[in-house]
Amino acid sequence: MLAFVIAHWYLFLALAVVGGLLLASSVLEGGPGTQKVTSQEAVQILNHKSAVIVDVREPQEFASGHIARAINIPLGQVAARSQELKKYKEKPIIICCASGARSARAAGMLRKAGFSDVRNLAGGLSAWRSANLPIIS
C-alpha cells in the first residue's frame, strides 16, 4: 500500500486539494444547514413566516438602498451584535449583502451563535434588484 501511495503521490495530493476545496466551500456558504434562498423565496418567507432581514453591508452601502425593514449589522460586527437578534431566534433570518458572499459568512456566524433558521439570499441585493423587487433608499 505504501509503495502505491509513493508511486502515485500526485493523485493523493489532488485528492487532498479537492477535499480542502469542498470543505472551504461549505464554510464559505455558511456551513451545513444554511439554506440559500432566491429573491422570490425570500419574499414568500418574509410575507408568510415573518422573517427578519439582516443586511451585512457597510452603513454607506445600506444607505444607498436596502430591502424594507432590513436591520443593518455590518459583517465585521455580526458576532459582537448577535445578541441584538436573540429576540428573533424563533423566526427565519434571511441574511443579505451585495452579492451573497459576505452574507454567507454572516450566516455561518449566526448558526454558530445558536440560530437554527438562517438563510442566505442567493445573489444578494444584486439578485433582488434584478428581480425588480422594491428597494428603500
Let me know if residue 86 belongs to a domain. Answer: yes
Beta bridge partners of 53: 94
Is residue 135 over pLDDT 70? yes
Q: Is residue 17 part of a domain?
A: no
Task: Copy the grid coordinates of residue 32.
Answer: 451545513
| Residue at 82 is within a domain | yes
- Work out whether the CA dihedral 128, 107, 29, 40 comes out positive or negative: negative
Concerning whether 96 is annotated as a catalytic residue, the answer is: no
Strands laid side by side in the 71-72 sheet: 35-37, 118-121, 93-96, 52-55, 71-72
Of 51, 95, 96, 97, which one is the catalytic site residue? Answer: 97
Residue 54, in any domain of the structure: yes
User: Domain for residue 26, yes or no?
Assistant: no
Beta strands in the chain (DSSP E): 35-37, 52-55, 71-72, 93-96, 118-121
Question: Which helix (H) or strand (E) segment is 19 a member of?
Answer: helix 9-28
pLDDT tens figures, 22-61: 544 444 444 555 689 999 999 999 999 999 999 999 999 9
Q: Tell me which of 19-23, 33-37, 69-73 is least confident.
A: 19-23
> 75, 120 in Cβ contact below 8 A?
no
Expressed as residue numbers, the domain containing 64 is 31-130
Residue 55 lies in a domain: yes
Q: Report the CATH number at residue 117.
A: 3.40.250.10
Number of domains in the chain: 1
Residue 87 lies in a domain: yes
